[in-house]
């Protein structure tokens, strides 16, 4: 037994570790340079990069619940960059690169694991779409290939090649596809940010936004009022509600998205497998559980209840892909509130209110963008200039009919 472990074991402060946790809750100050609404991955990542790269530490992250308890805790952690548009591929590729270095940067294991992601084509039209995505991805340095049924069989021997009588014709094999521990990402950023002086206030709900002469001046919370120089909102499913407090209307609709997890079994499935035609994706976690999910609920709602119809259809499709799953036990089922845009791309950048910045519209696909989104939003706040990488995702694109259409590259792959 290592001596240090014995020393810890006998220490009466055990398991005390310096800087292991977040600072104890404190009173709210009257003024912050930056207020970030929402302590999901996006909010704390923005705070982290503000402190780390721009020396801006008079920052409060206000969270109505607990750190990373929103969609950050509920997502299925697919990380990929095999999108369709050049804007999308460039943006998400940067995020994948940042993810690869996060464990080292945090000195905290986020369990990043590159597994590869396999998307199945069951029609000729899907193959044509995959060809285009392969080329766009390669052009921007990504590792994506179109593979045939034999190669698919070799990669995933347990896959049913004729699920629901829709034969698997080809696959989009995205070698960069990966997964990571979502809670660790939120905690890694939060620890790094608070160690540099950022304040994280949990159980602190923003209930109003003060705007004077078109410029944000402060926020109201259940713990009182604070004034601030600028605000970043990163509240996922509640985007329209919080923006509404600042008088901003958004091109967003909130839909629940459900997912489930089975009991753990021996490792058998390395790649993340997704079938857009069957509205289903399945992957095995490092602990051996199968996580699977599909498309959003069929109509808008602010409620994280589970529905029988979605469970039924999701289970039916998962069992089609991997028939032996019929004998497995389901452990948990849950939902998150996703902020959907009509082009399946995010909304990042300026808003109609000065000094009020938007990080929204992440729908069912925003976990993978946590690092690059935090980094670019921090740059925007610090410099006041919109970084080139996120310029195409401005909310104003809807007013000029310049959508960044990622619908086909998003459905049931997230």
Partner 1 sequence: MKIINCPLNGPRNSSEFVHGGEVRQMPDPNNCTDKEWADYVFYSDNQIGVVTEWWLHAASGYWFIAERHTASDEILRTYDPSEIYTSRFEFSEKAASGLPEEMTV
Ligand X SMILES: Cc1cc2nc3c(=O)[nH]c(=O)nc-3n(C[C@H](O)[C@H](O)[C@H](O)COP(=O)(O)OP(=O)(O)OC[C@H]3O[C@@H](n4cnc5c(N)ncnc54)[C@H](O)[C@@H]3O)c2cc1C
Taking the complex as a whole, the smallest distance from the CB of residue 15 to ligand X amounts, in Å, to 27
Cα end-to-end span (Å), the chain: 44
Using a 10 angstrom Cβ sphere, with 0-12 exposed, 13-18 middle and 19 or more buried, the burial of residue 313 is middle
Nearer to ligand X, 64 or 401 (CB): 64
407 binding partner 1? (CB under 8 A): no
- Binding at 308: pick from ligand X, partner 1, none (beta carbon under 5-8 Å per type): partner 1
247 contributes a contact to partner 1 by CB under 8 A: no
| Min separation Cβ 236 and partner 1, Å | 13
Point out which residues pair with 319 in neighbouring strands: none
Instruction: Tell which one of 85, 117, 254, 262 touches partner 1 (CB under 8 A).
Output: 254
List, as one string, the DSSP characters of 294-359.
EEEPSS--S-----HHHHHHHHHHHHHHSGGGGGSPEEEEEEEEEEE-TTS--EEE--SSBTEEEE
Does 323 interact with partner 1 (rule: CB under 8 A)? Answer: no
| 263 sits near partner 1 (criterion: CB under 8 A) | no
Task: Supply the minimum distance, in Å, between the C-beta of residue 218 and ligand X.
Answer: 14
Q: How far is the CB of 143 from ligand X (least distance, A)?
A: 18
Residue number with CB closer to partner 1 (184 or 353): 353
- Closest separation between CB of residue 366 and ligand X, Å? 2
Please state the closest distance from residue 257 (CB atom) to ligand X, in A. Answer: 4
Find the binder of partner 1 among 45, 56, 235, 252 (CB under 8 A). Answer: 252
* Dist CA 278 CA 129 (whole Å): 16
d(CA 140, CA 221): 44
Q: Please report how many Cα atoms fall inside a 13 Å half-sphere around the Cα of residue 125, on the Cβ side.
A: 3
307 binds, among partner 1, ligand X, none (CB under 5 to 8 A by kind): partner 1
State yes or no: residue 250 binds partner 1 (CB under 8 A).
Answer: yes
Give the whole-angstrom CA distance, residue 23 versus residue 191: 9
From ligand X, partner 1, none, interface partner of 305 (C-beta below 5 to 8 A by class): partner 1
**HSE on the CB side for 270, CA within 13 Å?**
13
Owner of token pair 């610090």: 382
Q: Residue 411 in 3-state DSSP?
A: coil
- Can residue 9 be called a binding residue for partner 1 (CB under 8 A)? no
The region of 30-38, 224-232, 306-314, 350-358 touching partner 1 under the rule CB under 8 A is 306-314
**In angstroms, what is the minimal distance from the CB of 344 to partner 1?**
13
Which two tokens mark 353? 């209110």
3 near partner 1, judged by CB under 8 A: no
What are the residues whose beta carbons fall under 8 Å from the beta carbon of 228, sequence distance 6 or more? Answer: 31, 32, 33, 34, 35, 60, 216, 217, 218, 219
Question: Which CA distances in Å does 150 have to 167, 283, 398, 408?
Answer: 13, 20, 43, 25
Determine the interface stretch with partner 1 among 96-104, 210-218, 296-304, 406-414 (rule: CB under 8 A).
296-304
Binding-site residue total for partner 1 (CB under 8 A)? 24
Q: Does 222 bind partner 1 (CB under 8 A)?
A: no
Nearer Cβ to ligand X (72/82): 72
In whole angstroms, the minimum distance from the beta carbon of 92 to ligand X comes to: 9
Q: Which of 290, 256, 250, 251 is nearest to 270 (CA)?
A: 290
Q: Which of 7, 139, 153, 305 binds partner 1 (CB under 8 A)?
A: 305
Binding site for ligand X (CB under 6 A): 37-43, 62-65, 69-72, 74-78, 205-206, 234-236, 238, 242, 257, 259, 293, 336, 338, 362, 364-368, 414
Which residues are within 8 A (CB) of 162 and not within 5 positions of it... i.e. 6 or more apart?
Answer: 168
Residues binding partner 1 (CB under 8 A): 240-241, 244, 249-254, 298-303, 305, 307-309, 342, 398-401
């Amino acid at each position: 037994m290592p001596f240090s472990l014995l020393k810890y074991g006998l220490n009466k402060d055990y398991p005390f570790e310096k800087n292991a946790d977040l600072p104890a809750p404190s009173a709210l100050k009257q003024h912050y340079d930056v207020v970030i609404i929402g302590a999901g991955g996006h909010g704390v990542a923005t705070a982290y990069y503000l402190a780390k790269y721009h020396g801006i530490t008079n920052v409060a992250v206000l969270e109505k619940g607990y750190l990373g308890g929103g969609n950050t805790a509920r997502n299925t952690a697919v990380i990929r960059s095999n999108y369709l548009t050049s804007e999308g591929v460039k943006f998400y590729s940067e995020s994948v690169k940042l993810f690869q270095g996060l464990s080292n940067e945090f000195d905290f294991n986020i369990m990043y694991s590159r597994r590869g992601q396999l998307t199945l084509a069951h029609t000729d039209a899907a193959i044509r779409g995959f060809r285009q995505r392969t080329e766009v991805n390669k052009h921007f340095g990504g590792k994506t290939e179109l593979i045939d049924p034999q190669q698919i069989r070799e990669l995933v021997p347990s896959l049913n090649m004729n699920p629901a009588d829709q034969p698997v014709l080809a696959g989009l094999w995205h070698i960069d596809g990966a997964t990571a521990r979502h809670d660790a990402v939120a905690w890694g950023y939060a620890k790094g940010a608070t160690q540099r002086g950022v304040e994280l206030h949990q159980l602190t709900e923003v209930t109003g936004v003060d705007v004077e002469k078109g410029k944000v001046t402060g926020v109201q919370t259940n713990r009182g009022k604070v004034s601030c120089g600028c605000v970043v909102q990163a509240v996922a499913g509640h985007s329209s509600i919080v923006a509404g407090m600042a008088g901003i209307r958004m091109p967003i609709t909130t839909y629940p998205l459900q997912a489930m997890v089975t009991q753990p079994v021996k490792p058998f499935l390395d790649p993340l497998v997704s079938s857009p035609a069957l509205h289903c994706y399945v992957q095995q976690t490092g602990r051996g559980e199968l996580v699977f999910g599909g498309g959003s609920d069929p109509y808008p709602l602010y409620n994280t209840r589970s529905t029988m119809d979605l469970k039924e259809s999701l289970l039916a499709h998962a069992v089609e892909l991997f028939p032996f799953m019929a004998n497995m036990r389901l452990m948990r089922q849950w939902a998150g509130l996703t902020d959907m845009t009509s082009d399946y791309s995010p909304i990042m950048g300026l808003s109609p209110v000065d000094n009020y910045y938007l990080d929204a519209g992440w729908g069912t696909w925003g976990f993978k963008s946590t690092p690059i989104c935090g980094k670019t939003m921090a740059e925007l706040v610090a410099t006041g200039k919109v970084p080139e990488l996120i310029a195409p995702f401005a909310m104003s694109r809807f007013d000029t009919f310049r959508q960044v259409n990622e619908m086909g590259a998003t459905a049931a792959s997230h």
